[in-house]
Amino acid sequence: MITTSSVRVSHATQVLTGTVSLPASKSEANRALILRALSGQEFPIHNLSDANDTQLLNRLLSTPAGAEVSAEDAGTVMRFLTAYYAIKNQKVTLTGTARMCQRPIGVLVDALRKLGAQIEYLGQEGFPPLQIKGFEYAGSNQLTVRADISSQYISALLMIAPLLPVGLKLTLEGKIGSEPYIRMTLAQMAHFGVQASFEGNTITVPAHQYEPKVYTVESDWSAASYWYSAVALAKEADLLLPALRADSLQGDSVLPRLMAPFGVHTQFVAEGVRLTKQELQEPLERIDFSACPDLAQTVAALAAGLQVEVEMTGLESLRIKETDRVLALQQELPNVGATLQETEEGVFTVFSGKEAKNDPSIHTYEDHRMAMAFAPLALRQQIEIEEPSVVKKSYPRFWEALAAVGFEIEPIS
């Protein structure tokens, strides 16, 4: 793990070959950990992510009653544990970093209160920190929640639903954001014996005991996005990304289709995915990130590096991530010769072709995806990434993986 204040990243040949070390999916791993804990039984989870978010959740699931615990900067940890501690009638105080305490959680708390959770805000209404005091079933098995903010609220409710006396009928109101993550949750619940139905905007979950069953976590498609970007930016490329599946549960497995116009060919092989370079297609179509918001920063930075124009929609949830990711992109893209502008309501366009700064420095805003999205641009020009240690959140060995395929990583104190 690099702990210096910045790293200078470059690549001498712009040719990429070899096998890439990918982390396991923290999205899958975190759900599997919660479902195992809700089952009340121990069973193996293979290929558990070494991401900080996952290791943190694993530790906090054994929190003693009466403790004060921190979800740090991990959104899934905060949202999933709020529901988990409530349904388990576990009295704890749940807090996080300063940024986490600015991220809304009112939609989830309101829903849990309707089910019978006793939760109080210790600071600003609608935001952490929370005091979870217990749970007494309120008698209703029907909820309606907004679906346009964060799928993590919905997943948190779905995972505890089988433990309610008669299950839960959950109606999603409005445009559903990050739907693949909801379907991932339901698929993992089914793996452990709970068969829910998802028809229209309504999800029905029966009361049922989770069944212990061995689970193997897939490699992380979100992490793979940085390698897709690198292949698109390289002169030549032939990379193997191990342990990715064509039948993935992960929403970001749209990458093969999404990245093809940017000049990346995907071939599924026995070991995983093989990436090679092909011709860039222009003009590029408008891309909707509603179902895959974690890919937006990667694509925006890639468009800047390729000097192409890209229209992006479905960025609403980016405002409440580790940082305001829309604002962060607007502040950092000019360093690499591009801008991000809202050209019509809900539509953002990356405009490129401007002169990039010499040896640009990218501020990461304590956001792992800012660091990793901009790092592949080192294939086009030397770039400095501030606070490189932020990658520990999801991809602790990111810098080592870059170095293994020829990137030069120079720590700067």
Q: Which residues are annotated as a binding site for 3-phosphoshikimate?
A: 26-27, 31, 150-152, 178, 294, 321
Does residue 2 carry a pLDDT above 80? no
Mean pLDDT of the 308-327 span: 91
Q: Which residues are annotated as a binding site for phosphoenolpyruvate?
A: 26, 75, 103, 152, 325, 369, 393
Q: d(Cα 101, Cα 278) in Å, to the nearest integer?
A: 44
Does residue 149 carry a pLDDT above 80? no
| 41-71 confidence digits (pLDDT tens) | 999 999 998 899 999 999 999 988 889 999 9
Does residue 244 carry a pLDDT above 70? yes
Is the model more confident about 317 or about 373? 373
Report the number of secondary-structure helices (H) and strands (E) in the chain: 12, 22
Q: d(Cα 244, Cα 259) in Å, to the nearest integer?
A: 16
| 110-132 confidence digits (pLDDT tens) | 999 999 999 999 999 999 999 99
Whole-number pLDDT of residue 319: 87
DSSP 94: E
Mean pLDDT of the 383-404 span: 96
Cα 257 to Cα 70, 177, 264: the distances in Å are 38, 20, 9
Does residue 228 carry a pLDDT above 70? yes
The mean predicted confidence, pLDDT, of the chain is 95
Does residue 313 carry a pLDDT above 90? yes
Whole-number pLDDT of residue 254: 97
Q: Which of 80-84, 113-117, 312-316 has the lowest mean pLDDT?
A: 312-316
Torsion of the alpha carbons at 191, 194, 195 and 200, rounded to the nearest 10? -110
Q: For this structure, is 294 an active site residue?
A: yes
- Any bridge partners for residue 277, and if so which? 264
Task: Identify the helix (H) or strand (E) that includes residue 87.
Answer: helix 75-87
Whole-number pLDDT of residue 339: 97
Q: Which residues are annotated as a binding site?
A: 26-27, 31, 75, 103, 150-152, 178, 294, 321, 325, 369, 393
Count of Cβ atoms closer than 10 Å to residue 200 Cβ = 7
Q: Which two tokens stand for residue 54?
A: 């996952």
Mean pLDDT of the 17-23 span: 96
DSSP sequence for 325-358? HHHHHHHHGGGGT-EEEEEETTEEEEE--SPPPS
Mean pLDDT of the 272-279 span: 96
Whole-number pLDDT of residue 413: 78
Torsion of the alpha carbons at 272, 17, 300 and 49, rounded to the nearest 10? 40
Does residue 358 carry a pLDDT above 80? yes
Cβ contact 83:105 at 8 Å: no
| 319-344 confidence digits (pLDDT tens) | 888 889 999 999 999 999 999 999 99
Mean pLDDT of the 214-227 span: 97
Q: Residue-wise over 92-108: b if at least 16 C-beta within 10 A, else e? A: bbbbbbebbbebebebb
- Any bridge partners for residue 231, and if so which? none
Please, which residues have CB within 8 angstroms of residue 155's CB and are 6 or more apart in sequence? 31, 79, 80, 181, 182, 184, 185
Reduce the DSSP state of residue 267 to 3 states and report it.
Answer: strand
Does residue 308 carry a pLDDT above 70? yes
Determine the angle formed by the axes of helices 26-39 and 151-160, rounding to 10 degrees. 30
Q: d(Cα 4, Cα 93) in Å, to the nearest integer?
A: 33
Q: Which of 53, 73, 220, 294 is catalytic?
A: 294
Place of tokens 């342990």: 243
Cα 348 to Cα 6, 262, 313, 321: the distances in Å are 29, 18, 6, 17
Q: What is the pTM of this model?
A: 0.88
Query: Domains (ranges, CATH) in the chain?
Result: 6-23+219-412 (3.65.10.10), 26-216 (3.65.10.10)
Mean pLDDT of the 255-275 span: 97
Does residue 1 carry a pLDDT above 80? no
Does residue 23 carry a pLDDT above 70? yes
Is the model more confident about 45 or about 177? 45
Backbone angles phi, psi at 399, to 5 degrees: -65, -35
Count of Cβ atoms closer than 10 Å to residue 192 Cβ = 22
